[in-house]
Amino acid sequence: MKHIAIIGFGIVGGGIPDVIDSCRDGIINALGEEVNVKYILDLRDFPDSPLGDRVVHDINVIVEDPEIELVCETMGGSHPAYEFSVTCMEHGISVVTSNKEVVANFGDKLLECAKKNAVSYLFEASVGGGIPCLRPFATSLGHEKITGVSGILNGTTNFILTKMKTEGREFADVLAEAQALGYAERDPSADVDGIDAMRKIIILTALATGKLASDKVVYAETIRNITPADIDAAERIGGAVKLIGTYKAVGDKMSVFVCPQIVKNDMALSAVNDVYNAVSVKCDITGDVMFYGRGAGRYPTAGAVVADAVAVLSGAAEVEKNHVFVRDDSAVLPFEDVKFTYYIRTAVSSAAEAVETFKGVFDDVTVLDGSADGVCEFICGKLSKRELDATLPALGDVQSVIRILE
């Protein structure tokens, strides 16, 4: 019998005992023995739960029990998740987590702590919910150079953008529905302003490069300003608007950012709809690889936590103990200097005159069909944000600027 503890008994943590129950045979097959949830750490009590008698309120009860081999950290937030994880590892206990915030903020220190104490620190569930996308970085693509990652990393925003497209509705209207369905929080900013996706692209970038960027140097742009007119324009261009997290190798530097982009229909990411997530990886040898699945939800996420637990307890994760992240903000290029192709919609009095103006402003500009007096739509590139901002005064009353994924 392997004894573990769960710290944080919310949506994800509360699903872990169910997953362990329903995967009993598979777990026994992998480990040769059962897994027992000996303790649950939470501020609350759970008198009605069949596991109510496992609840403790002091982390020391867990770390001082020599039977505990592994802790599932599903608290969320940086503190005290960080301190509790360190305490566990200093007591020789491996930690597996779904907590993207603590990994994005403290992944370097947590992996260093794991290495020093010869335990595992795994976080598959922190990106892409149940999608097995992090372990393959380590175990299948670990020896290759990874030159880019593009991901649809947030299910809430993908649900909103998909509904806006299929039903022609406004952002605020679909957000309200997502909140009613429990897909979005009452304060939706972590999702819709790209913070959640930013944490995930920071983690993916660190896996690809070994370099952990801080949130201060990673640009994140909201989807609040996307309108039905934008989504309609994307469709006419032959694509769809998606919130994309991006890492790109640029010489020995890198660009890392999150923003809405128009994804063309011939890209595999374009077919990732609703609450699904996908991570597309550009590899030196293997070419483009994509991992797709449910990016959130109690059981997919709890399942990924349990998968990490089984990997640690079976010895399959031994090799991942060598991983380190080095904090290196200086490797991240300023977002203002990253060049894109843009879709731009602007109100002008005369389309014909405007087109003449644009041709003088941009080296490369394509005016879209249907542009008329009143509104003009065009595609221009490739420009950095800095370069684009300098042109804006010449463009009339700009209604929309959306980058196009390449």
Q: Are 113 and 88 in contact (CB under 8 A)?
A: no
Write the CA distances from 60 to 1, 9, 37, 84, 89, integer angstroms. 22, 17, 16, 9, 12
> How far is C-alpha 336 from the chain's CA centre?
22
- Residue 405 touches a copy of itself, criterion: CB under 8 A: no
Nearer Cβ to a copy of itself (143/186): 143
Of the residues 163, 165, 200, 385, only one is catalytic, namely 200
* DSSP-derived secondary structure for 58-90: -HHHHHT-TTEEEEEE---SSTTHHHHHHHHHH
Q: What are phi and psi of 193, to 5 degrees?
A: -95, 5
Q: Give how many residues touch a copy of itself by CB under 8 A.
A: 59
CA-nearest of 161, 141, 157 to 149 is: 141
Residues in 310-329 at the binding interface with a copy of itself, rule: CB under 8 A: 310-311, 314-316, 318-320, 322
Question: Is the CB of 159 or the CB of 291 nearer to a copy of itself?
Answer: 291
Least distance in Å: CB of 12 to a copy of itself?
12
| The one-letter amino acid at 386 | R
Q: Is position 13 an interface residue for a copy of itself (rule: CB under 8 A)?
A: no
Residue span 230-269 as binding mask against a copy of itself, x where in contact by CB under 8 A, dash where not: -----------------------------------xx-x-
Report in angstroms how near the CB of residue 28 gets to a copy of itself at its nearest: 9
At 276, which helix (H) or strand (E)? strand 276-283
Map residues 20-49 to x or -, x wherever contact with a copy of itself holds by CB under 8 A: --xx--xx-xx-------------------
In the list 46, 297, 365, 398, the residue contacting a copy of itself (rule: CB under 8 A) is: 297
Instruction: Find all residues with CB under 8 Å of 158, minimum gap 6, and list them.
Output: 152, 242, 243, 272, 273, 274, 275, 276, 277, 295
In the complex with a copy of itself, the residue whose CB is nearer, 59 or 152, is 152
Least distance in angstroms from the C-beta of 234 to a copy of itself: 16
Is 306 near a copy of itself (CB under 8 A)? yes
Site for a copy of itself in 141-200 (CB under 8 A): 141-145
Shortest distance in whole angstroms from residue 348 CB to a copy of itself:
36
DSSP string covering 140-189: TSTTS-EEEEEEE--HHHHHHHHHHHHH---HHHHHHHHHHTTSS-SSTH
Kindly identify the residues of this chain, within the stretch 116-145, that bind a copy of itself according to CB under 8 A. Answer: 124, 129-132, 135-136, 138-145
Q: Is 294 in the site for a copy of itself (CB under 8 A)?
A: yes
Among 51, 56, 250, 289, binds a copy of itself (CB under 8 A): 289
Judged by CB, which is closer to a copy of itself: 5, or 16? 16
Measured on CA atoms in the order 48, 44, 62, 71, is the torsion positive or negative? positive
200 is catalytic: yes
223 bridge partner residues? none
Note if the bond before 382 is cis, omega within 30 degrees.
yes
Nearest to 147 by CA among 328, 341, 285: 285
Tell me the Cα Rg of the chain.
Answer: 23
Say which amino acid occupies 193.
D
Quick check: 59 binds a copy of itself (CB under 8 A)? no
Cβ distance to a copy of itself smaller for residue 262 or 304: 304
CA atoms within 13 A on the CB side of 45: 3
Q: According to the binding rule CB under 8 A, does residue 290 interact with a copy of itself?
A: yes
Tell the smallest beta-carbon distance from residue 258 to a copy of itself (Å): 22
Provide the annotated active-site residues: 200
Q: Which residues bind a copy of itself (CB under 8 A)?
A: 19, 22-23, 26-27, 29-30, 124, 129-132, 135-136, 138-145, 265-266, 268, 270-273, 276, 283-294, 297, 299-300, 302-304, 306-307, 310-311, 314-316, 318-320, 322
